[in-house]
Structure 1
Amino acid sequence: MTESVTAGWSEFAAAAAGAAAALAGLVMVAISVNIREILTLPGLPARAAAAVGSLVLVVVTGLLLLIPTQTNGALGIELLAATLGAVWLHLVSLNQISRQADRPRSARALSFPLAALQLIPIIVGALLVLAGTDGALYWVAVGLVLTVIGSMLDAWVLMVEILR
């Protein structure tokens, strides 16, 4: 592959980074407004951290895609490293969710696949970038879009559902 793997992705990367940064700010405001309720409910602080961490992952990924003349190897490693932080935050959140006996089993069972659905495409895309595979960034893009959607669902819980 002679052309940079990120060629043609700059507008997507800038839009993703900008949108996720704005959304992360809104989630932080939602957390600060409802901090007492969030801290009293088991598992919600970790869920809030996972939501913010996921949006930060989208911002960081967008910025990484904008670095000019990067090698596939460097970008792939950077994407994997960035994703590991979000994976860790989701694992902590999932661990706390799995311990909540008062939550319906179906809700607990859905938590892992929903987290995996967001992050696995980014990991696959990073590995494909490392391998120099054409089209690898489509996997990353799908993961970023799903991550924004998942984070917004978490934000809804942090803003609205905890007050019901």
Structure 2
Amino acid sequence: MGGTVTTGWSDFAVAMAGAAAALAGLVMVAISVNIREILALPGLPARAAAAVGSLVLVVVTCGLLLVPGQPGPLLGVEVLVAVAPAVALHAVSLGHRTRHSATPRYSLALYVPLAAIQLLPFVLGALLLIASGASGGVYLVAAGVVLTVIGSMLDAWVLMVEIRR
């Protein structure tokens, strides 16, 4: 087998890292412009932190995909380490949402699947890379990258627009 598990992924990684970095900047501007409103609403600072943390996860993961000649199991360990803080930030955000929500079950029913859809592919892809070094793990990580960018767009919308309603 020629190359490594990340052979052919450099264009994807560069494009997604750039997109995530730009989106992270947008989220940071939204936070700074709406900081009073964000701090006034319980749970929203944690949601903002989870959004930024998820985008940092995308940038870091895409950077890891760009490391030349990296063995699959090592990449898997690195992705697993990178996803841990994002999982923690989402867990804190979930805790705040359920404690401060008028409808905690609705918050759980909505937020848990949205967070899982974003973060689970990173975890599963990392575990597949660790277990077998197979390139299929990279496809799962890539799915996590795309889904996290989409989920972060939703968070950016809330922090920029919905907060003003």
Per the normalisation by structure 2, the TM-score is 0.95
| 1:99 maps to 2:120 | no
Q: Percent identity?
A: 68
Q: Note the C-alpha offset of 1:103.
A: 4.0
Give the equivalent residue in structure 2 for 1:70. Answer: 70
Alpha-carbon distance between aligned partners in 2 of 1:9 and 1:120, rounded to the nearest angstrom: 20
Letter in 1 for 2:151: G
Do 2:3 and 2:69's aligned partners in 1 also have CA atoms closer than 8 Å? Answer: no
Q: Note the C-alpha offset of 1:73.
A: 2.0
3-state SS of paired residue (1:96): helix
Alpha-carbon distance between aligned partners in 1 of 2:89 and 2:148, rounded to the nearest angstrom: 13
Structure 2: gaps (5+ residues): none
Give the equivalent residue in structure 1 for 2:30. Answer: 30
Do 2:51 and 2:152's aligned partners in 1 also have CA atoms closer than 8 Å? Answer: yes
3-state SS of paired residue (1:5): coil
Counterpart mapping for 1:54-93 below 5 A? 54-93=54-93
Do 2:51 and 2:155's aligned partners in 1 also have CA atoms closer than 8 Å? Answer: yes
Counterpart mapping for 1:43-54 below 5 A? 43-54=43-54
1:31-59 alpha-carbon deviations (Å, 9 max, x no partner):
00000000000000000000000001000
Alpha-carbon distance between aligned partners in 1 of 2:47 and 2:104, rounded to the nearest angstrom: 17
Alpha-carbon distance between aligned partners in 2 of 1:124 and 1:91, rounded to the nearest angstrom: 18
Q: Note the C-alpha offset of 1:154.
A: 0.8
Alpha-carbon distance between aligned partners in 2 of 1:13 and 1:103, rounded to the nearest angstrom: 39
Letter in 2 for 1:16: M
Do 2:16 and 2:58's aligned partners in 1 also have CA atoms closer than 8 Å? Answer: yes
Letter in 2 for 1:148: V
Divergent runs of 4+, >3 A: none
Do 2:43 and 2:97's aligned partners in 1 also have CA atoms closer than 8 Å? Answer: yes
Give the equivalent residue in structure 2 for 1:113. Answer: 113
Q: Taking structure 1 as reference, are residues 35 and 103 closer, same or farther at Cα in structure 2, changes over 3 Å only?
A: farther
Q: Taking structure 1 as reference, are residues 104 and 92 closer, same or farther at Cα in structure 2, changes over 3 Å only?
A: closer
3-state SS of paired residue (2:100): coil
Alpha-carbon distance between aligned partners in 1 of 2:79 and 2:69, rounded to the nearest angstrom: 16
Alpha-carbon distance between aligned partners in 1 of 2:159 and 2:48, rounded to the nearest angstrom: 7
Q: Note the C-alpha offset of 1:105.
A: 3.6
Q: How many residues align?
A: 164
Q: Taking structure 1 as reference, are residues 101 and 24 closer, same or farther at Cα in structure 2, changes over 3 Å only?
A: closer
| 1:162 maps to 2:157 | no
CA RMSD of the aligned region, Å? Answer: 1.3
Per the normalisation by structure 1, the TM-score is 0.95
3-state SS of paired residue (1:99): helix
